[in-house]
Amino acid sequence: MEKNNDDSLSQVRHVILVLSGKGGVGKSTITTELALAFRHAGKKVGILDVDLCGPSIPRMLSVGRPDVHQCDSGWVPVYTDAQKSLALMSIGFLMEDPDEAVVWRGPKKTALIGQFVSDVAWGELDVLLVDTPPGTSDEHLAVLENLKKHRVDGAVLVTTPQAVSTGDVRREITFCKKTGVRILGIIENMSGFVCPYCSECSNIFSKGGGEELAKLTESVFLGSVPLDPQLSSSIEEGRDFMQSFPESATFSAISSISETLLNSLQTV
């Protein structure tokens, strides 16, 4: 593919960043579910978890705390399945004690992320999803600087519907524009909750903010994902939601978002 085979990302076809100015809006959940949806679509997927202070992906994919091995071309990612169709690398793997806090200032994080991004032996991947911490600071700049050598297809922005959240995501959009990252689209997460007892829909975190934000900033609106206790418990238990609940409304929302995304990658 690329002439330089030493480049750990040389056989990675597409790179997508998952960003949000706001914390706790579901970046890691969306990253996990998109990865699972891509895999169901027959793709080889990788996830790079660069949230140093709160890595959640290992738990969400139920991989526990495996030892990370090294090969000649770098750190070997952890595969979640025998077919090696979903690879994961997380800072969580490198910590001895899961409760230990990574109390690092920016420069140290920048150095580790640099290593992280360039030293993982991803092998051949269709899509690499990069899950990031909230904000527009050291981690984000470090990820971009190190991925720039390669190519970044763009970013998916995750928000919840309320204005307090879309306000932070607006700032993230400015970040993308300033750093020259294409915005692939906006996803509204935690959008409405359908009561399992009476089917009444409550907009716990308001409604429609993601779509409005997309209009305001002339970005693509990829879709809404509802609040779904089945999704949160799958994430808690590290089960494959996309396999367990194929008939739920959440499933169709996520699959349609992943299809749109895959199509937009083809046209990049």
Partner 1 sequence: TTLVPHDCPGTQSEQAGKSSSCQGCPNQKLCASGATKAPDPAIAEIGAKLSTVKHKILVLSGKGGVGKSTFSAHLAHALASDSTKEVALLDVDICGPSIPRIMGLEGEQVHQSGSGWSPVYVDDNLAVMSIGFLLSSLDDAVIWRGPKKNGMIKQFLRDVDWGDLDYLIVDTPPGTSDEHLSIVQYLSSTHVDGAVIITTPQEVSLQDVRKEIRFCQKVKLPIIGVVENMSGFVCPNCKNTSQIFPPTSGGAEKMCADLNLPLLGKVPLDPRIAQSCDEGRSFLNVVPDSPAAKAYKSIVQSEFLQPSTTHPHVPLPSCCTSVVILYNRITLSLQQLQRNLKVPSNLYIIHKTCHKYTNKTS
Interacting residue ranges for partner 1, rule: CB under 8 A:
21-25, 28, 52-54, 56, 59-60, 98-107, 109-110, 133-138, 140-141, 160, 162-165, 167-168, 170-175, 178-179, 193, 195-198, 200, 202-206, 227, 229, 232-233, 235-237
CB of 29 to partner 1, least distance (A): 8
User: Is the separation of the CB atoms in 201 and 192 below 8 Å?
Assistant: yes
Residue for token digits 């609940």? Answer: 245
Which residues does 76 contact at the CB level (< 8 Å), separation at least 6? 68, 69, 70, 121
Please tell me whether residue 228 adopts helix, strand or coil conformation.
coil
* 154 among annotated binding-site residues: no
Q: What is the CA radius of gyration of the chain?
A: 18
Q: How far apart are CA 22 and CA 24, in angstroms?
A: 7
Q: How far apart are CA 34 and CA 27, in angstroms?
A: 10
CB of 71 to partner 1, least distance (A): 29
* 27 among annotated binding-site residues: yes
* 256 among annotated binding-site residues: no
Which residues does 43 contact at the CB level (< 8 Å), separation at least 6? 85, 126, 127, 262
Residue 94 or 141: which CB sits closer to partner 1?
A: 141
CB of 70 to partner 1, least distance (A): 26
User: Is the separation of the CB atoms in 206 and 163 below 8 Å?
Assistant: yes
Closest CA to 88 of 61, 124, 53: 61
Residue 168 or 240: which CB sits closer to partner 1?
A: 168
CB of 171 to partner 1, least distance (A): 4
CB of 32 to partner 1, least distance (A): 10
Residue 10 or 230: which CB sits closer to partner 1?
A: 230
CB of 57 to partner 1, least distance (A): 10
Residue 124 or 236: which CB sits closer to partner 1?
A: 236
Please tell me whether residue 125 adopts helix, strand or coil conformation.
strand
* 209 among annotated binding-site residues: no
Residue 65 or 150: which CB sits closer to partner 1?
A: 65
At residue 4, φ and ψ (nearest 5 deg) are: -90, 105
* 192 among annotated binding-site residues: no
Q: How far apart are CA 94 and CA 206, in angstroms?
A: 38
* 46 among annotated binding-site residues: no
Residue 233 or 256: which CB sits closer to partner 1?
A: 233
* 198 among annotated binding-site residues: yes
User: Is the separation of the CB atoms in 26 and 225 below 8 Å?
Assistant: yes
* 22 among annotated binding-site residues: yes
Please tell me whether residue 213 adopts helix, strand or coil conformation.
helix
Q: Which residue ranges make up the annotated binding site for ATP?
A: 21-28
Residues placed in the known binding site for [4Fe-4S] cluster: 195, 198
Residues annotated within a binding site: 21-28, 195, 198
